[in-house]
Each structure stands twice: as structure tokens, then as C-alpha cells.
């Protein structure tokens, strides 16, 4: 089939924001003028715009699009992120760090945690944290690119500026932007597929394939096609958030903070030009006024924006691809921002769509495969988030007592109990969170294995001590040679310098 005869050539993106422009940039850069790409958005409709913290796969996405990292970071006022500092999650007053790096050196038969557990049993009481480069660099507030990509990192960025950056790229590659509010979605009376979007001014945007990037409203997937929603609030009970930006009052650190309180948690995310702040809470245990008062009470620096109040429900659409429409971003579901996965799920949906783009009619096999893969991603992320609430020693509030006592999915129960009994974690089906992520969070939340792999007993005491000294010493020396994070950012991608120029 020639390109001119391609029956699915007209691709329409409903909605802008991070989801819409990530999709537009990827499609335009990949397919160029092989598609007729149109994005519809309205300046009157605001975007959520609080997605400031990301995870490492975004660097891969940017590389696939040929984006220069320093240019991107200047444009989005970004800083580097080495992980998340969790505070007060297991018990008030204590914390732990979930880093993006590996900890120690694994043996092919068992992860490093098994050797650490054996060493601890022998009285070698080194912190598990001492063996992770990214974690110790974050604690020291230091960062640099290292040879061989030995430093794993993500970004803390302004998602609104990221969308603007991607828009320029997409339009330069041929994407047509149409300004207007979507009034109705017209369906084909025979097939039931989406035929066109009708805007408030009467303009009709017809297409062959549609991407729903309309956020929580899900105007296409839910409003027009009624795919249904799977509610996960019985596992992820937080349903409200308040966000605002403040002027930075201290140098930006290379990590995000997630601070638990008696009915949820709060975030703090340092960018180059300001700090992102938010409170996430369960409205059944904390009312909106009390949440706002608590939020205002911990802000550092003068507020730059009015508070953005959000209501959400944790869960997922029952289908992510239905007929000729694909959900991208919040239209497909939401699982709160605790592990910074929202932008990642946009990325996964867009890249998966591009890999499975049909040449002829939409194949039910493609649709089924896409839906299975997307749902697998979401279920695995869901379980990882539930872990933070379930594995806790907090009993100081009704919220935490409910979290500790709630039944959890069998898939998570298996993972937690396997680790508790054997120290083992298995990564399945290209699961987003690697073994070390699960180990760091489970140890941090108070799950300590009762047993471990016998391979660790093979080492004599002096060999074990030598292993720990070698790995820990290498980490400490490397961190000591890194520059302060804020200095490195200013030199590498300082937005203030770019703006002044």
C-alpha cells in the first residue's frame, strides 16, 4: 500500500498540555509529512500543569526525539533528579531515600541485598545506602555527568514550559494547531468510531485516528465512547491536592521530597527559578480548609502563583485504546504523583502507539495487545504506590490505621511476602521499577527479610569486609569529586544565563 493510499493518515490530538504536545512532537518527528497531524486545544482551558518531577525514561524519550539536553533544561528551567527523599512514611521523624541507581554489585544468582543482609548478620553494620552512588550524591547535594552514563538521573522541570518547548518542535515538523473548545464529538453512525470533533465555533475537525489528551475529563474515551473506569481508591485513598509555586530561597537539591502527614503527604520540588509545592490528602480524613492551612504553613519563600486545587480519583479506564481512539495521559487514568509516573505513562502510550500504528484498518489484535501492555504498566505502578501506604508502622491517625489494615492486591501481597521471607524481588515484563527500587522502598518502609540467598554465606568475613569497603569507598570517592548540584546546573544549562543572553 502506498503512503498516498494510507487510510489512517489523518491523526487528530484532542487537547494540548504535556500529554498533547509530547504526542504531537513524537508523531511529527517520527512520521513527518507521512501523516496529517492536527492538535486541537483551547487557551481558555487550563492544564493541570503540576507535573514537575520525572523519572529516568524521560531522558530516553528526549534522545529519541533528538532533543539537546542542555537546551531542553534551559527552556524548562530544569534541575537534575537522583531520586525521592521519603520522610515520615514508616514512622514520624524517620526517612529513607528511593534512588534511581543500583546499590552495590549483584551476583548473577542474587542481588546485592543478600550480601548486605548476611554481612549485617555477622555484625558488619554498614547502611545499605552507603553502596548507592546516586543516593549518596543526592544526600551531599552533588551532581555531574559521569563517563559511561554511570549516574542515573531524571529531571525536575516546569511541565508547562516543556509543553511549550515540544509545541515549537511539533509545529516545525508539520503539526497543525487549531485553537478552540471541543463542543461535541461526532461518531460514525455505522461503525461507532469517532468521525470528527466539533468545536464551539462550529468548525469540524475530521480524522481517522484520535488521541484523547483532554485530561481528567476524557471527552473522547469516556464522554463519547463510554469505556468505563476502574476505581482504585480503596487502595490509593488520596483524592485531593493543592499545588503552588514559590520563589526559591536556597540552592536547588537534586531530589524531590515526599513528606507524609496524618492524612496523606506533601511534595517539594526545586527547579532553577522556583520551587514546586503541593499537598496530597484524603478528603475523608482532612477537609479542604484544614488542608490549605497546613499547606500554607510549610511553604518556604514567597508564593508566585495562586493555589491550584485538584480533585482526582485513582484508577484507570477499562480500555486505553477503543475503536479509533487512544487515551494518553490523565484521560487514561491517574494514580497520584507519589512516584512521578504521570509523564512516564504519557511517554509509554505515545511510543507504544507509534510502534503499533496500523497501515490498514485498525486490528482488534493490535488493540487487545496495546490495552494489555498499557494495563500491565498501570497495575505494576499501582502496586508500587500501594506499597508506600500499606507497609507502615504508623498508627497515629485514622488514615494510617486504615492504610495499614486494608486488603491489598494479590500481586503486591506476593511481592511483599516473597521479600519478607527470602529477600528476593523479581522484575516482570519490563516492569518500570527495578529490583533495587523495590528493595529500597521495602527496607525503608520497614520490611526486613528473615532469610536470604545462601550464596552470600560463601564469602569469608575478610572477603565480605573487603567487598563492602571497595564498593562503599568507590561511592564515597566519586561523590567527593562531584561539584555542587546548583553549580553544575548553572554551568551546564543555567536558564538565567540563557535569558540574559
428 is catalytic: no
Cell of residue 158, nine digits? 516546569
pLDDT greater than 90 at residue 358: no
In this predicted structure, which of 18-22, 212-216, 361-365, 394-398 has the lowest mean pLDDT?
361-365
pLDDT band at residue 496 using 50, 70 and 90 as cut-offs: low
Number of independent structural domains in the chain: 2
Q: Say if residue 346 is in the same domain as residue 210.
A: yes
- Domain membership of residue 305 (yes or no) is yes
Q: Report yes or no on 432 lying in a domain.
A: no
Q: Are residues 248 and 357 in the same domain?
A: no
pLDDT attached to residue 501: 32
Cα 32 → chain centroid? 28
Residue 362 and residue 324 in contact, taking contact as beta carbons nearer than 8 Å = yes
Per-residue confidence (pLDDT) for residue 500, from 0 to 100: 36
Task: Give the full edge-to-edge strand order of the sheet including 209-212.
Answer: 176-179, 36-41, 10-14, 209-212, 325-327, 321-322
- Tell me, yes or no, whether 68 lies in a domain: no
Are 16 and 42 members of one domain?
Answer: yes
The mean pLDDT value for 310-330 works out to: 96
Percent of the chain whose predicted confidence (pLDDT) is above 70: 96
Q: In the structure grid, which three cell numbers stand for residue 413, read together?
A: 501481597
* 126-152 pLDDT, tens digit each: 999 999 999 999 999 999 999 998 999
| Domain identity same for 228 and 162 | yes
Q: Is residue 394 part of a domain?
A: no
Q: Which of residues 345, 362, 379 is at a domain's end?
A: 362
Residues 6+ apart with CB under 8 A from 44: 181
Is the per-residue pLDDT at 497 higher than 50? no
In this model, does residue 319 exceed pLDDT 70?
yes
Cβ neighbours for 242, distance < 8 A, ≥ 6 positions apart: 278, 279, 291, 292, 295, 307, 308, 309, 310
- Give the pLDDT of residue 5: 64
Which residue among 81, 136, 390, 415 is the active-site one?
Answer: 81
145 within domain boundaries: no
Helices (H) and strands (E) in the chain, counts: 15, 21
Confidence of residue 267 (pLDDT cuts 50, 70, 90): very high
Domain region containing 199: 3-52+158-232+315-362
pLDDT of 9 over the 50 cut = yes
Whether the per-residue pLDDT at 50 is higher than 90: the answer is: no
- DSSP lists the bridge partners of residue 37 as 11
Q: Is residue 368 part of a domain?
A: no
Whether residues 186 and 305 fall in one domain: no
Same domain as 354, residue 305: no
**Same domain for 227 and 320:** yes
In terms of domains, do 263 and 356 share one? no
pLDDT digit string (tens) for 161-198?
999 999 999 999 999 999 999 999 999 999 999 999 99
CA distances from 335 to 35, 236, 244, 256, 329 (A): 32, 8, 20, 18, 11
Kindly report the CATH number assigned to the domain that includes residue 167.
3.50.50.60
The values of phi and psi at residue 69, to 5°, are -65, -45
Q: Is residue 335 included in any domain, yes or no?
A: yes
Mean pLDDT of the chain: 94
Residues 165, 225, single domain; the answer is yes
Helix axes 69-76, 159-172, angle to 10 degrees: 130
Q: Assess whether 170 and 294 both reside in one domain.
A: no
- Residue 51 pLDDT exceeds 70: no
Say whether both 260 and 354 belong to one domain.
Answer: no
Residue 169 included in any domain? yes
Alpha carbon 27 to its chain centroid, in Å, reads 21
* pLDDT tens column, 427-481: 887 889 999 999 999 999 999 999 999 999 999 999 999 999 999 999 999 999 9
In terms of domains, do 285 and 165 share one?
no
Amino acid at each position: 500500500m502506498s503512503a498516498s493510499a494510507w487510510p489512517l493518515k489523518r491523526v487528530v490530538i484532542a487537547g494540548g498540555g504535556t500529554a498533547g504536545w509530547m504526542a504531537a512532537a513524537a508523531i511529527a518527528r517520527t512520521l513527518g509529512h507521512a501523516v496529517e497531524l492536527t492538535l486541537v486545544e483551547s487557551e481558555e482551558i487550563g492544564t493541570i500543569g503540576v507535573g514537575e518531577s520525572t523519572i529516568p525514561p524521560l531522558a530516553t524519550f528526549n534522545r529519541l526525539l533528538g532533543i539537546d539536553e542542555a537546551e531542553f533544561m534551559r527552556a524548562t528551567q530544569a534541575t537534575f533528579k537522583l531520586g525521592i527523599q521519603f520522610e515520615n512514611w514508616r514512622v514520624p521523624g524517620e526517612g529513607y531515600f528511593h534512588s534511581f541507581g543500583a546499590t552495590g554489585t549483584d551476583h548473577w544468582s542474587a542481588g546485592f541485598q543478600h550480601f548486605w543482609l548476611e554481612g549485617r548478620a555477622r555484625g558488619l553494620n554498614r547502611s545499605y545506602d552507603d553502596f548507592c552512588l546516586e543516593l549518596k550524591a543526592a544526600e551531599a547535594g552533588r551532581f555531574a555527568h559521569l563517563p559511561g552514563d554511570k549516574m542515573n538521573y531524571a529531571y525536575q522541570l516546569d511541565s508547562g514550559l516543556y509543553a511549550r518547548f515540544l509545541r515549537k518542535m511539533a509545529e516545525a515538523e508539520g503539526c497543525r494547531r487549531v485553537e478552540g473548545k471541543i463542543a461535541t464529538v461526532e461518531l460514525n453512525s455505522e461503525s461507532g468510531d469517532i468521525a470528527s470533533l466539533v468545536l464551539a465555533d462550529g468548525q469540524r475537525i475530521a480524522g481517522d485516528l484520535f488521541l484523547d489528551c483532554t485530561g481528567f475529563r476524557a471527552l473522547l474515551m469516556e464522554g463519547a465512547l463510554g469505556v468505563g473506569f476502574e476505581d482504585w481508591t480503596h487502595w490509593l485513598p488520596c483524592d485531593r491536592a493543592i499545588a503552588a509555586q514559590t520563589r526559591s530561597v536556597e540552592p536547588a537539591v537534586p531530589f524531590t521530597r515526599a513528606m507524609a502527614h496524618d492524612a496523606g503527604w506533601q511534595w517539594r520540588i526545586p527547579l532553577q527559578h522556583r520551587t514546586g509545592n503541593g499537598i496530597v490528602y484524603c478528603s475523608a480524613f482532612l477537609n479542604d480548609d484544614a488542608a490549605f492551612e497546613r499547606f500554607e504553613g510549610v511553604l518556604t519563600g514567597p508564593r508566585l502563583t495562586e493555589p491550584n486545587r485538584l480533585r482526582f480519583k485513582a484508577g484507570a479506564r477499562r480500555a486505553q485504546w477503543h475503536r479509533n481512539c487512544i487515551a494518553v495521559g490523565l484521560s487514561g487514568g491517574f494514580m497520584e504523583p507519589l512516584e512521578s509516573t504521570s509523564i512516564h505513562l504519557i511517554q509509554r502510550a505515545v511510543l507504544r502507539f507509534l510502534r503499533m500504528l496500523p497501515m490498514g484498518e485498525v486490528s482488534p489484535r493490535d488493540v487487545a495487545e496495546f490495552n494489555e501492555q498499557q494495563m500491565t504498566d498501570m497495575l505494576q505502578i499501582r502496586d508500587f504506590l500501594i506499597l508506600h501506604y500499606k507497609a507502615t508502622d504508623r498508627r497515629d491517625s485514622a488514615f494510617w490505621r486504615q492504610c495499614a489494615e486494608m486488603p491489598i492486591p494479590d500481586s503486591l501481597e506476593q511481592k511483599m511476602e516473597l521479600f519478607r521471607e527470602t529477600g528476593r524481588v523479581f522484575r516482570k515484563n519490563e516492569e518500570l521499577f527495578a529490583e533495587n527500587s523495590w528493595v529500597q522502598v521495602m527496607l525503608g518502609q520497614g520490611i526486613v527479610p528473615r532469610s536470604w540467598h545462601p550464596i552470600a554465606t560463601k564469602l569469608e568475613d575478610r572477603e565480605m569486609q573487603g567487598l563492602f569497603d571497595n564498593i562503599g569507598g568507590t561511592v564515597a570517592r566519586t561523590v567527593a569529586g562531584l561539584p555542587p548540584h546548583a553549580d553544575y546546573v548553572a554551568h551546564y544549562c543555567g536558564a538565567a544565563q540563557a535569558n540574559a543572553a
